[in-house]
Amino acid sequence: MSPDTPKYPEGDALKGQIAGRHRRGTTWQILFQISTIIGIIALIALIYNITNEAFGLAAVQNKVEPQSLVLGVEEARLLAAENTITSEDDNALVEGIVSDANGIGFFGYAYYQENSDQLKLLTVNGIEPTAETVANNEYPLTRPLYLYTTADILAENQAANIFLNYYLTHVNEAIEGVGYFPASDANLSAARAAWIAASGFDLQPGQWASINPEGISGNLRVVGSSTLLPLNERITEQISAAGFAANVSLQSVGSTAGLRAFCEDGTADIAAASRAITPAEYEACRENDRRPIEILVGTDALAVVTSSSNSFANDVSLEQLQTLFTSATSWSDVSESWPDTAVDRYIPGADSGTLDFFASTVFAVDLADLPKETLVEILAANISVGLGRRLEREQRFFDESFVFEDPDLFAEVCASDDPAEGCTLPARDQEDVYNLILQEVVAPDVVAAWSLVDSLFSRSVIEAEAAAEYPNAELSFRSWLTPDFIVSPQSSTPEFAGVRTAILGSLWVVGITILFSFPIGVGAAIYLEEYAADNRLNRIIQTNINNLAGVPSIIYGMLGLAIFVRSLEPFTSGSLFGIGDGTTANGRTILSAGLTLGLLILPVIIIASQEAIRAVPNSLRQAGMALGATKWQTIWAHVLPSALPGILTGTILAISRAIGETAPLVVVGASTLIFVDPDGPFSKFTTLPIQIYQWTARPQAEFRNIAAAAILVLLVLLISLNASAILLRNRYARRA
């Protein structure tokens, strides 16, 4: 370079250099902004996908309907009441009441009409059953009457098809003469539309075609309700007179027995029922490839009657009916103005739809409102003795008695070295027993779930799909992230699974990780920055620390397995201290997991702490030592307070990584399915990432929903821990 050449660019060269710097700066700025935008988009996509799965419509189908359990209890009370006579034949009930001055009973209105000269009709809540009170549902014991068949039966059995066509054409002409009330125009139109859809006739909406039954032959079996028998007989007489040549068999066995013959046995072409088919019966039909078609043919008013010689009872309330047919031993037990004579009860049998309707209407109570003793009886009747014994050992049902357990065996268990929890816990309360029934008996099953977006914008399509595919399921908007989800333990049933055990496990593991890695990491950083000489050994140590920060986490898992689980098993299992419980004395404990994750994040904490300490100006050190402080006093009083915000920032990043780790914990031995909460560092454990991994690997779609909810919990937990650390960092930064 000649002496005349300037050391620095000038003129155009300077302008070109500045412009180049600006271009490079602008390029890097654009790249940074693009990277930031991509990161934000990725985060939004993540939140969108998680939220989309954690909320939405769900079709829930119960194994056993709660109301059927209540119905069973109330019907058992009705059938077990003293002075109770039962029969599936309503005529037999009529004869019994007519000849018994103290008798009372109930059956279809047609049977009262036929015997009105010998029976006395009671009003209910002051309302008499009339065409008007039945039509507007003012009479409390109004009920619809149904026929059930299938499209396959109508296609294969011409006699059944024509019989139903004639039935729906002439039912409103015949029904009042029998003693029942005609279906409304809307209900009759809906019934006809159901027949048209099932029979395959090409008719326009609102059209109806009456088919001539003359000459139609074959066999037809109608089984079911005794209430519908008079109407069925009347229709059969009329169609036979019109030339219908098929052999029609009418059997009165009760609605429940009729639907059983139709759904389970497949021996009935048409089921007659004085109540709607239950979800359990519908599922029984589907299991036998029968899709029931519901046809409403009329309305009945359940008649509550006494003998005509009864001069004192004229009106009863629903509450009085409850007493009359269960606990009352005399009429005076119901009303003081009535005589002190025994009550004789005449009711339909257990297979009767009339009994089902009466019990569900008069004894209208929810399962959750039943007393504890009744709930325990329901539970005992619907679960195995083995399961009941396990539940009772976990927590007893009563303090003074046992339901499933043998008292001597229970005393033996309680006296052993490993007593059951039920030995010390108080008896379960009513809510506990109710929740057990929901889980073990009702067993709700999410048969289908839809995403939040589909639920919001395609609800009508979902409703149509659910009605066609899951007719017995209840469609409702469901949040999989609920308070119960957070406080409930793990369960093999997604509807009852929670993350309490996983949250506690994560907190235990992170706590041990911080206690182990933070002081060691900061101490190592202080040594390397403030005390270590610049020699070959320390340079090798520094290089290895930098390299360890990039080692895959699975390698740390293998290291933890070799050292903490196997080599240090007596220590990490707690057996060295005599506090292991025997089941975890294999080293696969919270302590092993915490130490393994501590090793994983230790290089990150060391490097971040070194950078923070290195950023402290040397003038602070020199000022401290100039005032006579030792090197350690200077570090403790001046260097560390100034570096602490940076140290905590690095620690926050390291802990965030530890919370989300799965691979090392799988190797160390985290449980994927555990029902017991961790109670110390020597406990078996699981964590939220492990739980999420386990749920996403399950085939049921519902587990993906609860996995999404668990991810939201993990994010909230992570943000909460980070926020706490950031507040702590900012506090020290202000002090500095």
Report in angstroms the alpha-carbon separations of 672 from 60, 617, 667, 675, 714: 26, 49, 12, 10, 16
Percentage of the chain modeled with pLDDT above 70: 97
CB 672 within 8 A of CB 694: yes
Measured distance CA(730)–CA(719) in Å, rounded: 16
Relative to beta strand 103-107, strand 303-307 is antiparallel
pLDDT score of 6: 56
CB 54 within 8 A of CB 449: no
User: Per-residue pLDDT averaged across 66-91, rounded?
Assistant: 91
Residue 45 predicted with pLDDT over 70: yes
Measured distance CA(229)–CA(147) in Å, rounded: 11
User: Per-residue pLDDT averaged across 643-654, rounded?
Assistant: 86
* Secondary structure of residue 322 in the 3-state scheme: helix
- For residue 732, name the pLDDT band (cuts at 50, 70, 90): low
pLDDT score of 533: 85
Phi, psi of 316 (to 5 degrees): -135, 150
Measured distance CA(692)–CA(175) in Å, rounded: 61
CB 103 within 8 A of CB 97: yes
What pLDDT digit, counting tens, does each position of 138-150 carry? 999 999 999 999 9
Environment class of 180 (CB within 10 Å of its CB; exposed 0-12, middle 13-18, buried 19+): buried
- For residue 5, name the pLDDT band (cuts at 50, 70, 90): low
What pLDDT digit, counting tens, does each position of 555-584 carry? 998 998 999 988 888 888 887 777 755 454
What pLDDT digit, counting tens, does each position of 211-255 carry? 999 999 999 999 999 999 999 999 999 999 999 999 999 999 999
What pLDDT digit, counting tens, does each position of 578-631 carry? 775 545 447 888 999 999 999 999 999 999 999 999 988 988 888 888 888 888
Residue 577 gets the label, from left (phi > 0), alpha (psi -120 to 50) or beta, of: alpha
Measured distance CA(652)–CA(726) in Å, rounded: 8
We find that the CATH architecture of domain 142-301 is 3-Layer(aba) Sandwich (3.40)
User: Per-residue pLDDT averaged across 706-711, rounded?
Assistant: 91
Residue 95 predicted with pLDDT over 50: yes
Per-chain mean pLDDT for the chain = 89
Span of 33-37, 158-162, 494-498 with lowest mean pLDDT: 494-498
Report in angstroms the alpha-carbon separations of 593 from 19, 503, 570, 589: 55, 15, 15, 6
User: Per-residue pLDDT averaged across 304-329, rounded?
Assistant: 94
Measured distance CA(279)–CA(213) in Å, rounded: 34
Structural domain boundaries in the chain: 79-125+303-364, 142-301, 366-443, 500-735
User: Per-residue pLDDT averaged across 666-682, rounded?
Assistant: 83
Relative to beta strand 84-87, strand 344-348 is parallel
pLDDT score of 679: 84
* CB-facing half-sphere around the CA of 686: CA atoms within 13 A: 22
Residue 116 predicted with pLDDT over 70: yes
User: Per-residue pLDDT averaged across 56-79, rounded?
Assistant: 90
Write the DSSP string, 410-469.
HHHHHHSSS--GGGTSPPP-HHHHHHHHIIIII-EEEEEE--HHHHHH-HHHHHHHHHHH
Handedness of CA 586, 589, 594, 596 (dihedral sign): positive
Span of 327-331, 354-358, 395-399, 626-630 with lowest mean pLDDT: 626-630
**Strands ordered across the beta sheet of 142-149:** 247-252, 219-224, 270-273, 142-149, 293-301
- For residue 694, name the pLDDT band (cuts at 50, 70, 90): confident
Angle separating helix axes 185-199 and 158-178, nearest 10 degrees: 170
Handedness of CA 656, 659, 660, 662 (dihedral sign): positive
In this structure, what token pair is assigned to residue 158? 């011409």
Contacts of 394 (CB under 8 A, 6+ apart): 420, 421, 422
CB 527 within 8 A of CB 632: no
User: Per-residue pLDDT averaged across 431-460, rounded?
Assistant: 91
Measured distance CA(342)–CA(82) in Å, rounded: 10
Q: Higher confidence at residue 424 or residue 725? A: 424
Phi, psi of 319 (to 5 degrees): -65, -40
Could you count the other beta carbons within 10 Å of the beta carbon of residue 187? 16
User: Per-residue pLDDT averaged across 440-454, rounded?
Assistant: 90
**Amino acid code (one letter) for 263:** C
Measured distance CA(603)–CA(606) in Å, rounded: 5
Question: Which residue from 291, 640, 714, 697 is spatially nearest to 481, judged by alpha carbons?
Answer: 714
Residue 647 predicted with pLDDT over 50: yes
What pLDDT digit, counting tens, does each position of 483-497 carry? 889 988 888 788 888
**C-alpha torsion 271→276→282→288, nearest 10:** 0
Strand partners, 445: 61
User: Per-residue pLDDT averaged across 175-196, rounded?
Assistant: 91
- For residue 722, name the pLDDT band (cuts at 50, 70, 90): confident
Residue 736 predicted with pLDDT over 70: no
CB 664 within 8 A of CB 571: no
Residue 1 predicted with pLDDT over 60: no
pLDDT score of 582: 47
Q: Could you confirm whether domain 500-735 is CATH 1.10.3720.10?
A: yes
Residue 126 predicted with pLDDT over 90: yes
- For residue 701, name the pLDDT band (cuts at 50, 70, 90): confident
Report in angstroms the alpha-carbon separations of 91 from 104, 114, 184: 14, 10, 28
pTM of the model: 0.75
Write the DSSP string, 64-124.
S-HHHHHHHHHHHHHHHSTTEEEES-HHHHHHHHHT-TTEEEEE-HHHHHHTTTTEEEPEE
